[in-house]
Amino acid sequence: MGRAYDMALEVARALPPRANVLDVGCGNGFIAHHLSGMLGTTVVGLDVGDSTAARINYLPYDGRHFPLKDQSFDAVLLCYVLHHAQDAVLVLNEVSRVLRDGGVAIIYEDIPSLWWDRMVCWTHNRQWRGRTGPCTFRLEQGWRKTFTLAGFEIVSERALSRWRNLAHPVARRFYVIRSNQRTRDLTQTDNPALQQVADHAQAVRFPKWADRKYGLDVP
């Protein structure tokens, strides 16, 4: 719970006071719970389960389409969620749809930069593949291409210490991105082939000894 409070504080510092926030893949709901108190507003949690441990405004969803109106939030939080998505661009399109003009998405992601990071991500994939399907981890440039494809521009990004969670010691990155309609028009209308590039070219390849049935893009 202490880690949830620290992350909520980190997110709150990147948002204006009283911002309406959607927490996609909210898990136990404690980040949303703490964030609501910090911002002085209601934070809505979204996930595929029936309920959360924390008492928050919670909505279950199918993992693809948000059951929410267009332009209804000032910010969307995706905390280590996108690598679980079978189609990250589809999720980001939904993020763009529910964001108000000028709204931002805050994204945490594991980055498998070194062999150690890949080992941790491979282990994480084995733990979760039965519940959410195979994970797709990307390097920094892979996430940048994915965000651009979905019509977002990066407002800021920074590296996070792998040691902030000793139970899951992997390189991490914190992104703040904003929907850019011009970028969205160019990528989705003028060059739809970029969809395939973003989905496959930057997906992390696990080591050859990894589980070939469930590992991601094993050569």
Per-residue pLDDT of 71-96, as tens digits, reads 999 999 999 999 999 899 999 999 99
Q: Are strands 99-110 and 73-79 parallel, antiparallel or unpaired?
A: parallel
Asked whether residue 29 is domain-assigned, the answer is yes
pLDDT range class, residue 109, cuts 50, 70, 90: very high
Asked whether residue 30 is domain-assigned, the answer is yes
Asked whether residue 116 is domain-assigned, the answer is yes
Query: How confident is the model at residue 183, as a pLDDT?
Result: 53
Asked whether residue 213 is domain-assigned, the answer is no
Q: How many domains does the chain have?
A: 1
What CATH number should be reported for the domain holding residue 33?
Answer: 3.40.50.150
Find tokens 């996430």 and name the residue.
143
Asked whether residue 211 is domain-assigned, the answer is no
pTM of the model: 0.84
Instruction: Write the pLDDT tens digit of every residue in 116-144.
Output: 999 999 999 999 999 888 999 999 999 99
In which order are the strands placed within the sheet that holds 43-47? 57-60, 43-47, 21-24, 73-79, 99-110, 172-179, 152-160
Instruction: Write the pLDDT tens digit of every residue in 188-217.
Output: 555 554 445 444 445 554 444 444 433 433
Asked whether residue 219 is domain-assigned, the answer is no
Rounded to whole angstroms, the Cα distance separating 21 from 164 reads 24
| φ, ψ (nearest 5 deg) of residue 7 | -70, -40
Q: Is the pLDDT of residue 186 over 50?
A: yes
Q: Count of alpha carbons within 13 Å of 157, Cβ hemisphere only?
A: 16
Token reading at 80: 């280590």
pLDDT range class, residue 185, cuts 50, 70, 90: low
User: Structural domain of residue 23, as residue ranges?
Assistant: 2-200
Asked whether residue 209 is domain-assigned, the answer is no
Asked whether residue 54 is domain-assigned, the answer is yes
Rounded to whole angstroms, the Cα distance separating 140 from 99 reads 24
